[in-house]
Every structure is written in structure tokens, then in C-alpha cells.
């Protein structure tokens, strides 16, 4: 393989529409709304790497108008250096926003190309795998108790032994309904299935604060909930620190943050028991693993967020 053959030649974008699932958002998604976009990076030799971006195709295309001059002709087998170059040259044009999201997809695609060129799995290129199996969990939207219980029976029948329930009416109607939902969920799955609760505090105009989160955490602990995710608004830094200190169960969050620099103060302050960066938003695999290292240094569990595509899940 010649040096010039592994240079980046083209970048193509495919916005995914037609089967967009419900997100549980207050401004609910329609099937033809694009919130996930695939990016294909092609080299001179014809290798094509694929990445995934958690944002709309229009924003990815607009970001590529800025990024392409920095990318075309670059070495495709150096994902970390190339991605850092993109970050460094675009700080003043969307630091942490759509440009960072788009870099995520490019970085994933470059790691894909490196794996193809070397004939090695990306996990090995990143330093090696410490395990060959991980426990998957199902993730479903909350509903009124009876319908949720019926849905959970179906999920358990599929073989899942860990399930996250989230969003829907939880935290938006009454504490009594919140507890009824959790009670129905625990009764439906039994005592041996791990059950996690995602309040969805990053939804628009989230109405609840620290007192609600503490009260709800105490209720969830009585039902042996494995973690409490996004119980507060995404900017409630001090409240997260206080909640994590006092809560009787693990607190999870971080899916709305991007870039390792944004995660650093949250990890240093102990805002989370479990940190959940999304590889399709934070800057790709190169950035995600640095966040993982930071989490390890602070004794925080790393369980990435992944409401995106099969490519994003694989990354």
C-alpha cells in the first residue's frame, strides 16, 4: 500500500430518515426527522470507513463545509492526530456543538479504515480487550404501569437480564405515579433482573431539582434500582455533586457533554458514579477513550451512552 493511497479522498453523508423511533422527548420525534447521520470516508485506494453522528444530516453537511479543507489529503491511518487537528482548528466555530458531533463520525470512520488496512480489530488497535463479553441491557420508554409491565414481560422473554426504563411520564406528573411505574416494573421483571431508571433530565424545561432528585432516589433504592440516570438538568453541576454524595444508589449522567475538557470538572468533582459519554457526540473513539481514562483515574464507572445507530453501538 503506497503512502498516497491511504490519504482521505472523499467524505459522504447519509442522513437517516423514515424509521426514527420515539425518543420520549416533550417535542416528540417524527419518523422522517433526521437525528442520526452516517458518514463515509474514502481513501485513494478505495477503503471506506463508516462513522455515525448523533445530529441531523443538515448540520453534518454544514459542518463538513468547514472541516473538509482540513481533511482532504490527510493521512487516513492516523485517526487521533487527524481528529485532534480538526478540534484544534475549529475551536471558534462550534466548540462542543455540531462540528464536534461531526468530528465524532469522522473519527469513528478513520478507526474503521485503520482496522481494515491493518487487518486488526479496532479494540486491539486501541490497546487490547480486557473482556470478550459484556452484559447488554434493553432500553425502553416508560408508560403507564400496566402497559409498561406488559412491555417488560416481552423484553424479559427475549432474554434480557438488564433493562433501563426512561422518560415518558416519569418526573412529569406526580411522585405517586413515579412510584407506581417503578413498582410495576420491578414486579414485572422480578428480583433478579437489573433495572435502571432514566429520568430524562435533559428534556426541554425539565421541572425538577435537587429536592425531587433526592426524594426520588430514596424511593428508587427501595426497589433495588441499579442506577438513577439524568435526574437533574444537564447544567446542574453543583446539584449533581450534592446528589451523588447523598443518594443511596448510583447516579449516572453525562450524555449531553462533549469533549474530554467538558467532562474533566464533572469527574474531578465527583458528580457521577457512572459516566455516560456518547461516542457519536463527544468526538469519536479517540475522545471517548480519553474520557474513559479520566473516569478510571477518578474511580468512576464508564458505561457509554448509545441511543443511536448500530455503527454507534459498535464504536
Alpha carbon separation from 43 to 5, 123, 206 (Å, rounded):
6, 22, 45
| 7-126 and 138-314 have identical folds | no
Asked whether 63 and 98 are in contact (CB, 8 A), the reply is: yes
Distance CA 164, CA 183 (A): 14
Homologous superfamily of the 7-126 domain (CATH): Enolase-like, N-terminal domain (3.30.390.10)
Q: Which of 36, 101, 151, 305 is catalytic?
A: 305
pLDDT for the residue 306: 86
Phi, psi of 169 (to 5 degrees): -80, -5
Among this protein's residues, is 305 annotated catalytic? yes
Q: What is the mean pLDDT of each run of 10 residues along the chain (315 residues)?
A: 76 91 81 92 94 95 96 96 96 89 97 96 93 92 96 97 96 97 98 98 95 98 98 97 98 95 97 97 96 97 90 88
Alpha carbon separation from 135 to 132, 138, 161, 193, 231 (Å, rounded):
10, 10, 8, 12, 24
pLDDT for the residue 91: 87
Q: For the chain, give every domain's residue range.
A: 7-126, 138-314
What is the topology classification, in CATH, of domain 138-314?
Answer: TIM Barrel (3.20.20)
pLDDT for the residue 2: 58
pLDDT for the residue 113: 97
pLDDT for the residue 264: 97
pLDDT for the residue 71: 96
Query: 265-276 burial, b for 16+ CB within 10 Å, e for fewer?
Result: ebbeeebbbbbb
pTM: 0.95
Residues 6+ apart with CB under 8 A from 25: 167, 203, 204
Amino acid at each position: 500500500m503506497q503512502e498516497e493511497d491511504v490519504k482521505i479522498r472523499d467524505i459522504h453523508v447519509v442522513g437517516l430518515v423514515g424509521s426514527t423511533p420515539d425518543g420520549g422527548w416533550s417535542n416528540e420525534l417524527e419518523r422522517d426527522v433526521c437525528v442520526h447521520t452516517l458518514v463515509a470516508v474514502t481513501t485513494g485506494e478505495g477503503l471506506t470507513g463508516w462513522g455515525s453522528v448523533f445530529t441531523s444530516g443538515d448540520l453534518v453537511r454544514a459542518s463538513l463545509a468547514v472541516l473538509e479543507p482540513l481533511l482532504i489529503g490527510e493521512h487516513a491511518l492516523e485517526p487521533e492526530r487527524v481528529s485532534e487537528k480538526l478540534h484544534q482548528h475549529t475551536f471558534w466555530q462550534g466548540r462542543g456543538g455540531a462540528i464536534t458531533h461531526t468530528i465524532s463520525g469522522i473519527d469513528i470512520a478513520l478507526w474503521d479504515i485503520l482496522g481494515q488496512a491493518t487487518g486488526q480489530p479496532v479494540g486491539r488497535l486501541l490497546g487490547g480487550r480486557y473482556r470478550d463479553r459484556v452484559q447488554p441491557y434493553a432500553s425502553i420508554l416508560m408508560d403507564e404501569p400496566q402497559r409498561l409491565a406488559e412491555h417488560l414481560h416481552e423484553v424479559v422473554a427475549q432474554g434480557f437480564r438488564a433493562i433501563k426504563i426512561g422518560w415518558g411520564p416519569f418526573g412529569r406528573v406526580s411522585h405517586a405515579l413515579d412510584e407506581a411505574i417503578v413498582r410495576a416494573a420491578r414486579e414485572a421483571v422480578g428480583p433478579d433482573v437489573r433495572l435502571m431508571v432514566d429520568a430524562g433530565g435533559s428534556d426541554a424545561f425539565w421541572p425538577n431539582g435537587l429536592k425531587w432528585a433526592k426524594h426520588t432516589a430514596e424511593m428508587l433504592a427501595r426497589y433495588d434500582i441499579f442506577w438513577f440516570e439524568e435526574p437533574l438538568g444537564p447544567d446542574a453541576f453543583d446539584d449533581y455533586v450534592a446528589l451523588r454524595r447523598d443518594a443511596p444508589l448510583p447516579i449516572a449522567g453525562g450524555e449531553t457533554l462533549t469533549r474530554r475538557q467538558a467532562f474533566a470538572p464533572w469527574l474531578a468533582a465527583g458528580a457521577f458514579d457512572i459516566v455516560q459519554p456518547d461516542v457519536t457526540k463527544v468526538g469519536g473513539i479517540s475522545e471517548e477513550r480519553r474520557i474513559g481514562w479520566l473516569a478510571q483515574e477518578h474511580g468512576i464507572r464508564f458505561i457509554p451512552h448509545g441511543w443511536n445507530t448500530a455503527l454507534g453501538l459498535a464504536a
